[in-house]
């Protein structure tokens, strides 16, 4: 039992406001207002350019989530999560989607590198291509593939 108490004390001492990776990325972002409701779900779906069926699927999932009860766990105590105090959408500000990684904010690319995100995923995250589309990059070298 002393080991459990020691672990509890260690967890209490963790500074949750200190970002684990030790850096932030200073770029302009566009955010949805805090909170989650049908308008936010619609906003996110519109920003992502999703088809109507995907929006309907998300709205149904949101309604199911509203009907759920947060579980209670034996011998675990944590502060209640305020789901209305969270941002559910944030993206780098930009006029239109970049056509290549060369057009992406270098600060954002440095962040991807610090986090060890592979080139293929960087393209998706930066909006250069959609998930499932073939990449124009050689995954090993990062160089453009000849066609």
Q: Where are the domains of the chain?
A: 29-91, 94-147
Residues 109, 115, 120, 124, CA torsion sign: negative
**Predicted TM-score (pTM) of this structure:** 0.57
Summarised one tens digit per residue, pLDDT across range 10-35 is 777 766 556 566 667 778 888 999 99
For residue 90, the cross-strand partners are: 31
Q: Please, which pLDDT band fits residue 146 given cuts at 50, 70 and 90?
A: very low
Those residues with Cβ within 8 angstroms of residue 33's Cβ, 6 or more apart along the chain or in another chain: 40
């Amino acid at each position: 039992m002393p080991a459990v108490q020691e672990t509890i004390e260690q967890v209490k001492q963790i500074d949750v406001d200190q970002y684990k990776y030790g850096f932030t990325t200073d770029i302009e972002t566009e955010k949805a207002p805090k909170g989650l409701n049908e308008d936010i779900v619609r906003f996110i779906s519109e920003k992502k350019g999703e088809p109507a069926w995907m929006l309907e699927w998300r709205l149904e999932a949101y309604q199911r989530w509203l009907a759920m009860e947060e579980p209670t766990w034996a011998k675990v105590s944590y502060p209640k999560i305020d789901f209305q105090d969270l941002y559910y959408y944030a993206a780098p500000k930009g006029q239109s989607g970049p056509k290549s990684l060369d057009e992406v904010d270098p600060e954002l690319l440095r962040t991807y590198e610090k986090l060890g995100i592979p080139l293929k995923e960087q393209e998706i995250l930066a909006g250069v291509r959609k998930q499932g589309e073939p990449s124009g990059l050689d995954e090993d070298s990062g160089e453009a593939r000849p066609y």
